[in-house]
Amino acid sequence: MENNGTAVKDPAALEAYYNRHQALRQIELNAAETIKSVKWFFDCGDDDFLYEGNSLVHIALKKKEIPHEFRIRDGAHNWTYWRESLPEVLRFVSDTFRQK
């Protein structure tokens, strides 16, 4: 991993960086109104290695009453799963991100 163009060799520094920037910490540190300024969409397979982390983020967002879309479907972290998800994701992007 690189930090400001230099390789991070100190495991403690890497852990501190991760702890400062990971999603659950950001939800804890930032005001709900700031987080609400982003349109959130999670689509994760129940066999995805990211399932637990995404679920914890979903729970943290619910506790702060942050609007978001959260989907768990059958599948893993692979192209087969995402090929099936792509139409819904593109619909979300199309409906959400418009020029003013």
Query: What tokens were used for 96?
Result: 């959400």
- Distance from CA of residue 92 to its chain's centroid? 15
Residues 22 and 57 in one domain: no
Q: What digits encode the pLDDT tens for the residues 6-39?
A: 566 789 999 889 888 899 999 999 999 999 999 9
Residues 52 and 84 in one domain: yes
Q: Tell which wins on pLDDT, 20 or 46.
A: 46
Residues 16 and 55 in one domain: no
Residues 50 and 89 in one domain: yes
Q: Is the distance from CB of 14 to CB of 42 less than 8 angstroms?
A: no
pTM of the model: 0.78
Residues of the domain holding 10: 1-30
Residues 46 and 63 in one domain: yes
